[in-house]
Amino acid sequence: MNETLLLERYKILEPLGEGGFSKVVKAVDTKVDRVVAIKIIPAGRQAAVRALREAKTVALLNHPNIVTLYEFEQRDGNYYLIMEFVEGQNLATILDKFGRLPVELVAAIAVQVCEALECAHQNDVIHRDIKPANLRILSDGRVKVMDFGIARLRSAAKTSGVTAENDIVGTFAYMSPEQASGETADERSDLFSLGVLLYRMVTGGLPFSADTPAGTIYKILNEEPGQPHEVDELISPILSQIITTAIAKSPDDRFPTIEELKTRLQRCSRSSDPPAMIVKEMLGELREAQRAGVPGTLESIRRQVASWLQQYQDTLITTGFAVGAALCAAWATPHLPFFSTRLNLLFPVGIFFLALFLPPAGFAALLALLAAVLWQTSPYLGVVAALISVVYWMTLGRGFPQIAILPLLAPVVAWLKAPFLFPLAVGLIFSPVLGAFLAGFGAGSLALAEIIGRLNYSWSISLRPDLISGLKFNSQFKDLSSLFGYLKSQPWILWQAGIWAAAAATMGTMRRFKTRVGRLLAVGAGWAVLSLGYKLVPPYLKMKYDFSRLFLQPMVFSLIILLVLIFIFQNPSTGLSRAPAEK
């Protein structure tokens, strides 16, 4: 500790920080026994302009959300700004720690910044450097706007974003287009910077960022960022639109005043508590959860799981495809005519590694194995299956084996007592045409699995009880007419494929709704199509059918699994990189 008093009255306690223009120290005013922060700016033409400007602008402002300037001194070739000492953390440190913040917390912070800027703008002061490093969060939840070093009076000569030395001032990533291009900047420039800050807080990333300052400025001037609710679907479209309006390229397309932005943000808040109280309570919860080493909410768990899945997405898809191919091979192998227990693992393990390292070849081997199994059921059916397999592999399996295998996994989903998860899931993921094809093909593969393996999934009404009970199918399909004759005797096989395809197509059509509510509406539409099909078609076909047992119970289980998956995967872009440190 330095015992020499600065300016004959301030006992320096510790340094707080140092930048290109100044350094800040913590000190005690011995005259009034008050802790203060002193910004020391070395003398110099540019430093003098900066010091005088900050002193004049902050002196005009008296607001609980703006740091208070007590005194301004010039001595020994230095300029001294004696300011209120603000306990707490700056927002940049908080964002580095938590990545992104809950929407309610974001709104509470932004409303307080709006109130500070509202006071500044009413006094003709434009901050021009709103960013996380210049916002400090106090222990009581208040937000303090700091560092008016590059602020300008609106009445000053042609308030531009360029200093007398033609240097662009401000932090590049948060700079408005008019600042970046050296044009006149008014209050709406602060509004743009606050919009960038909002984007950063809710998504975890910056709307405009590049490896170089020039690249960042180019994006600010020329590129449109993704809307926040497309980056993270937990963000409501209303809040997303507020942020998008705030960061519009043209000042005329933004909100006319900071008061208008504040009003919009207040409408988004679900709490009537004061913003400072919300900030205090929610930051306390986040810190407590971090100290405990566990996620504070179910949402934080979802984010961690989704982020991990996004990070290892390619590996998981490739491995999942190989495992799925091995499962299909393990089911099919016992039905081969030359099966022996010694070969029980040979085909599944071989197909697994082939699918893992050469997916198209692995899928081709699996199709060949399934065709051999169908040959065992009926040579004619085996030939038809082989021809279909060749066409299927050439059109879809060769280029997209991970997608092509999905219909073959429908029996596995049915075995897990969640049969309707398959048409609903493919309908939610793929386009209407592809989703309908996969769902219909999946229903067909399920029927074949029941025929070949003589399996009864308890919910299915595809086949007559006497066929499921153990009737062998060897040589049943001797020609094309016998195959058509069998399908005619089992119309539900085609009807079920049609119902699944219709449900998937309906959901695929609604994929344009990218929000969580939109996806839930799509699931509801698919559920409605399945319900109508399973309710109306069996009586039309004069089939005895227990609707509550054969449909409702497995449907509920399928919906539960699907909703959990939607909750986890609702944001495909959760692997968003963290924002670079602001300078």
Q: What is the CATH number of the domain that holds 37?
A: 3.30.200.20
Based on the domain organization, do 536 and 510 belong to the same domain? Answer: yes
**Domain ranges, residue 382:** 317-401
Looking at the domain assignment, is residue 38 inside a domain?
Answer: yes
- The first and second tokens of residue 420, run together, are 């309707």
Considering 129, 147, 190, 232, which one is annotated as catalytic?
129
- What is the number of domains present in the chain? 4
CA distance 319 to 483: 37
Q: Do 415 and 535 share a domain, yes or no?
A: yes
Which of 28, 52, 84 is at the close of a domain?
A: 84
Whether residue 203 contacts residue 232, with contact meaning beta carbons closer than 8 Å, is answered with yes
Clarify whether 129 is annotated catalytic. yes
- 447, 512: one domain: yes
Is 302 within a domain? Answer: no
Q: Give the pLDDT confidence score for residue 162 in this predicted structure.
A: 37
> Could you tell me how far CA 426 lies from the centroid of its own chain?
20
Residues comprising the chain, all counted: 583
pLDDT of residue 255: 94
Query: Are 14 and 136 part of one and the same domain?
Result: no
Please give the C-alpha separations between residue 81 and each of 75, 124, 142, 145, 419, in angstroms, as whole numbers.
Answer: 11, 21, 22, 16, 71
Q: What is the pTM of this model?
A: 0.52
Read off the pLDDT of residues 132-153 as tens digits, 9 standing for 90 and up: 989 999 989 999 998 775 555 5
197 and 271 in a single domain? The answer is: yes
Are 443 and 383 contained in the same domain? no
Residue 259 to residue 124: CA distance in whole angstroms: 15
The residue out of 57, 84, 111 marking a domain boundary is 84
Let me know whether 219 and 348 are in one domain: no
Tell me the HSE value of 409 on the side-chain side, using a 13 A CA sphere: 23
Q: Are residues 123 and 32 in the same domain?
A: no
Looking at residue 104, which CATH number applies to its domain? 1.10.510.10
Low-confidence stretches of the chain (pLDDT beneath 70) = 1-3, 19-21, 44-51, 149-170, 233-234, 289-314, 337-344, 377, 451-484, 486-487, 511-517, 545, 567-583
Integer angstrom CA distances of residue 242 from 52, 134, 401 = 36, 22, 42
Strand partners, 75: 78
The answer as to whether 306 is a domain residue is no
189 part of a folded domain: yes
Domain final residue, candidates 30, 54, 84 = 84
396 with 412, same domain? no
Report if residue 361 sits inside a domain: yes
Residue 304 belongs to a domain: no
508 lies in the same domain as 532:
yes
Residue 32: inside a domain:
yes
Question: Does 203 lie in the same domain as 122?
Answer: yes
Domain co-membership, 135 together with 232: yes
Residue 307, domain member (yes or no): no
